[in-house]
Every structure is written in structure tokens, then in C-alpha cells.
Amino acid sequence: MKKFQELLMKDLGWKLLSIAIAAIMWVLVINVTQPVDNRTYSKTIRFTNVEALSDRGLTVSNAEDIENEKVDVQIEATRTSLDRLNSSLDWLSITVDLSPLAGALEGDEVTLPVDIAMTGIYSGYNVVSKSPATVDVLVEKLSSKELPVQIAVNGDLSSDNIYSTPEIDFPNIFVQGASSAVDQVDYLQATINANDISNETKIRTIVVAYDAEGVPVKGVTLSVSEVTVSYHVYGSKRIPIHVDTIGEVADGYELRGTSQTPLTLEIMGAYDDLMGISSLQLEPVDVTDASEDVEREYYLSEVLPAGIYPRNADDVSVHVTASIQSIQSKAVTLLPSQIAITGEENGYVYELLDYAQLTIQGGEEYMDDLDETKLTGSVDVSGLSEGEHRVLINLSVPIGLEASDAYIEVLVSLESAEEETPEESEEETTEELEAVA
């Protein structure tokens, strides 16, 4: 210990002088290599304590203009410190405190100071100046409204495809801000590129508020600033629609037929799904015991396969009508002159001895058009021997009508050597008609 004290005290003056010189040299080095300097930095303003207004239904109407304005701040510090600030302006905080507006009213204009602070862990920074030093804040009523999001497409969509209505994850968005700004907003629009659209692809895009002239509105915020848009891309084809009937109509009535609107339908869907569809078969219409028209509506949303849709949005349903009509009947006399003889054989003479009685029945409209004098028929006499025969008449009946079986007596005789004169034949025909009358 004593030896250490002797060593410490030896040449003490020189040692103290050396320490003093070292300290002076350190100060000189600091002042020469790390001189104090000042630089100007620019950064935008951020509001704090906005609840002082929002809690009372108020807001800053010119907030966007203020927040977009950059404040020039001159800061004094060593060059090393300033270099450090250059690399991270996050340390520099420029704010406007809205808490003094706790008592402000709608329409007030208040001047508030711009506050500068260093939020980093380093010290030694000195704010020399700031410009602007204050801002004028306009107080206005806070307003909001909900609007649907429109989708605008840049470019031309492929004519080979059909595109569904775009699906949006947030189809409606709230617009909030000063009343004067919110009132200007006419619509919300998100824009996508046509080349980005494909089946099931999700496209992320920003939403912008526009006024009626198509100019973006400043000073408003949106509850959702970005939306995801997707499309279904389809092919199309036209298919026929078929419908049948089941059951028997009531006695005394008949099923005239069915009609439907539309007869065909243009559908759209994924190409693979369309390949498996050639027609649309609807459930049959039940006409059991029906005595009047039966109508049925088929809604396409219920009868089309999953993933298949009408191409035309106006095609909502298929309307089918089964027409039912009452059956009418009428007794008709068929004269021999209305009946032709076929199958005649040489050596025989064929004579129709009487007229035929039959019943015609059918729908009212068909019966109204019936002209019994224009009915015709024929009898086949091939193979008939000499004598009288009761032969079935083959009738020709208008469409929509039915006839009962009708027979007529045919006399077959051997042909005589003397031929009947035309005058005698005409007298017989006249007597025949008079007898029927």
C-alpha cells in the first residue's frame, strides 16, 4: 500500500498537467469534429384530442387542408444528431392539439398553435423556428351518410364472355365529415381494369367519393377505404323449354293443348355446366278433373340447375296454360252423294241404298265451324258378293272433331246388258234426295 502511494504521488504535477491537457484536447475535438449546426425539416400536421369536437358532433371542416400542409421546422443540434434525424423523421412530431376547442361552437374559427416535439430517445435537439407557427381551424357540424359503391371498369370487356353483376365485400359505405363536405358527395366509386377481371378473381381497389360533376370530394372519410370486387364470368346458350300434362280432365271436357311463354330460354353459366344442358324439362301440369283452363307459373330461380342463370334479367318465370274446353256433339246425316265408292270390280253394279246417321263431337269453336254438307266419306266394296251389305264408312273429319262409326247399306248386283240412260239415273238421284228431305 505504501509503495502504491509513493507511485501515485511521484511526479504528481506532471500527471495533473497531463489530465488537464487531455480534457482540453477532448473539448477541442468535440468542437471541431462535432460542431453544432441547424437544418430545416418538413413534415405534415397531425391532430390530437379530436374527441374534444367529435364527442359533441363537431369536426374541423378544413382538416384535410391543414393535414396536407407541411410545416418547416428549423432544428439546432450536432451534426451527428441531425444526421440521425435525417434517417428517421418519425422522431419529429408536429401536432395541433384540439383540446382547447372543447367549448367551440359550429361556425367558430379558432387559431391554434403548431406543437413541435422530439419523440426519440436522443436529446440535444433545439427547435429554432417553425413555419407556420399557427393554423386557423374552422369548426363545423359532423355529418355522415351511407351510399352504395359503384364499380367503374377501365377498358373493354371481352365480347366472348358474359359478366355477372360485380360482387363487393362492402356494397355500402358510410361517408363522414363536415356537413358541407358530406353534402357534396353524390356517389362512391371504385375503379378496376378490364384486363384484371377473370372468373372468381378478387380485385382489391380503393373507394373514392365524388360530387355530381365527377370531381373527388375533399374533407370526408370513409368507413371502408378499400373494397374487394369479384365477378362470375359465363358462357351462354339457348335451350328449348318442355312441359307435359298428367291426369284426365273432367267428363264432358277435353284437353285442347298447352301453351307457354317463353318457348325457349337463353341461359348463362360456367362453360362446363352449360355442356350438360340441352333443354329445360318442367314438371308436368296436373289437369285431373279439370273443367277450365289450368295455369302454372314456374320460377326460373327454382327450376334451373345450380350455377345456371337466365341471361336476360327480365326472364323471371315460365307461364304455362293447359287449355280445357267442353265437348259438344251433333247428329249429322251423310247423303249417298257425299260418299265415294272404292274397290269396285268389273261385272258388278254398286248402289248406296240409304243415307248414314252419325254423331260429330268436339270443342265448341270447332263445332261452330262445322259445315255438315262438306263432310265426305268413302266405302270400300272390294270383295263384296251380290246382295245387300252393311259397310263401314271411312270418314274425313276436320281437325279437332271426332265422329262416331257410321254405316250404309250397299246393294251389289250383276251388271245387266242394258245400260241405264242418263235421264233415268238423274230421276233416281232426285227421288233419293226428296226422300231424305
Which tens digit of pLDDT belongs to each residue from 359-372?
998 887 788 888 88
Give the burial string for 369-403 (b: 16+ CB within 10 Å, else e). ebeeeebebbbbbeebeeeebebebebebeeebeb
Angle at 93 between CA 87 and CA 98, to 5 degrees: 160
- Do residues 57 and 106 make contact, with C-beta atoms less than 8 angstroms apart? no
Q: Which CATH superfamily is domain 141-234 in?
A: YbbR-like domain (2.170.120.40)
Query: Is the model's pLDDT at 109 over the cut of 90?
Result: yes
For residue 318, list its beta bridge partners: 298
Cis peptide before 284 (omega within 30 of 0): no
Which tens digit of pLDDT belongs to each residue from 274-318?
988 999 999 999 999 999 999 999 999 999 999 899 988 899 999
Q: pLDDT tier at 173 (50, 70, 90 boundaries)?
A: very high
Mean pLDDT of the chain: 87
User: DSSP code of 1?
Assistant: -
Angle at 229 between CA 227 and CA 233, to 5 degrees: 180
Asked if 36-139 and 141-234 have one fold, the answer is yes
Q: What is the pLDDT of residue 437?
A: 44
Cis peptide before 132 (omega within 30 of 0): yes
CA distance 369 to 357: 20
- Kindly state the percentage of the chain with pLDDT values over 70: 88
Q: Where are the domains of the chain?
A: 2-33, 36-139, 141-234, 235-326, 335-436
- Residue 328 makes CB contacts below 8 A (sequence gap 6+) with 361, 362, 363, 364, 367
Q: What is the pLDDT of residue 19?
A: 76
Q: Which is higher by pLDDT, 347 or 80?
A: 347
Which tens digit of pLDDT belongs to each residue from 382-420?
999 999 999 999 999 888 888 999 999 999 999 885 554
DSSP annotation string for 90-155 = GGEEEEEE-GGGGG--TT-EEEEEPEEEE-SS----EEEEEESSEEEEEEEEEEEEEEEEEEEEES
Lowest mean pLDDT across 65-79, 141-155, 356-370: 356-370
Q: Which fold has domain 335-436?
A: RNA Polymerase Alpha Subunit; Chain A, domain 2 (2.170.120)
Q: What is the pLDDT of residue 310?
A: 92
Query: Is the model's pLDDT at 133 over the cut of 50?
Result: yes
Q: pLDDT tier at 329 (50, 70, 90 boundaries)?
A: confident
Q: What is the pLDDT of residue 31?
A: 52
Q: What is the pLDDT of residue 87?
A: 76
DSSP annotation string for 248-275 = -PPTTEEEEEEEEE-SEEEEEE-HHHHH
CA distance 128 to 125: 9
Query: Is the model's pLDDT at 431 over the cut of 60?
Result: no
Second-level CATH architecture of 36-139: Beta Complex (2.170)
- Do residues 366 and 328 make contact, with C-beta atoms less than 8 angstroms apart? no
Residue 265 CB burial class (10 angstroms; 0-12, 13-18, ≥19): buried
- What cell numbers appear for 268 in the block? 348463362
Query: Is the model's pLDDT at 86 over the cut of 90?
Result: no
CATH number of 235-326: 2.170.120.40
Q: pLDDT tier at 160 (50, 70, 90 boundaries)?
A: confident
- What cell numbers appear for 161 in the block? 364472355
User: DSSP code of 358?
Assistant: E
* Side-chain half-sphere CA neighbours of 406 within 13 A: 28
- Do residues 227 and 169 make contact, with C-beta atoms less than 8 angstroms apart? yes
For residue 47, list its beta bridge partners: 96
- Do residues 142 and 180 make contact, with C-beta atoms less than 8 angstroms apart? no
Q: pLDDT tier at 433 (50, 70, 90 boundaries)?
A: very low
Select the highest-mean-pLDDT range: 76-85, 116-125, 192-201, 214-223: 214-223
Closest listed residue to residue 178, CA positions, set 69, 99, 100, 65 = 65
* Global confidence as pTM: 0.51
